[in-house]
Structure 1
Amino acid sequence: MTTPKQHTVIDSPYGPLTLVATDGVLSGLYMTDQRHRPPEETFGEPDDTPFGEAIEELRAYFAGELKEFSVRLRLDGTPFQRSVWEQLRKIPYGETRSYGELADALGNPKASRAVGLANGKNPLGIIVPCHRVVGADGSLTGYGGGLERKQRLLDFERGERGAALF
């Protein structure tokens, strides 16, 4: 038996975002040209019904009025991936952490590479803020939505003028 899914596409300062719900709960947020973006045919029927709260929160975030998302999420992944994604949600708005710092927080300091792989498979970019993860030296490293978007999101959260415009 398949799980019912719906999707909708919204505009954002970073290009169109595809929101996916599984059983009425937000389970995906994908950018165009995103690495690890599932095939469109897996997104379910077009229907914006389950996305009201997510859209409202995303609009408030892009307006600079929301710093922490509270919309209910369905994070489908391995137990390790889910633990990494939960750590991402603890990174404060406007701050960054390294892969090594996340591995330390998980109690496995040698797992920074595995943390990076899990970070890259994050199905809910922006809301689960994988853009806040940087290299050990503070440099920008891989981002499924592209390094330019990552830099713009970080600049936006740091309050730099014009960063929200794409």
Structure 2
Amino acid sequence: MEITFEILREAGVRMPRPVGSAISIVGALVIGQAAVQAGIVSPAMVIIVSITAIANFATPSFAMAISARLIRFFFMVIAATFGLYGVILGIILLILHLTSLRSLGVPYMTPLAPVTVGNLGDSLIRFPLWATRQRANLIMKKGTQTHAENMAKPSPPTARSIMNRNLKKGDSNDS
């Protein structure tokens, strides 16, 4: 079902805009209904595939959405082969891969792996640079000055020509 949906999605992208969305929607409905009536798949599988496809559109980054689609196929193959143990094995392999990556010499999963207690504050919610008190331990030497000492809190611009313009008597904003 996932492969069929991906084929319909690619066909819809390559067609002219008004026709492409109609082909994707009608094709998914027709193929899903035919697969259920033929007994190839269950109605629950059609619902799960459609929820997965809709959730894929909620991904904010296109590059991340492509990566998630590829990883989803890997997880489906390993789950079909090994069942629940395969899903757990896939999650372990994914975490091992992410922890082995480095970007500009810094581990990708920093500060979660390796754990650096002093930097866990920015793990879930990133504070603005002007509000940070310390730099990351893996990036800078210990005892290096903070961001906040060299950076002022941003303020709104002082010149607001649109808001501060003086309208002459008798002028209106309709023009």
The TM-score by the shorter chain falls in which range? under 0.3
Greater share of helix residues, 1 or 2? 2
| Largest Rg, 1 or 2 | 2
Taking structure 1 as the reference length, what is the TM-score of the superposition? 0.24
> Which has more strand, going by share of residues?
1
Q: What TM-score do you get using the length of structure 2 for normalisation?
A: 0.23
Higher relative contact order (CA 8 A, sep 6+): 1
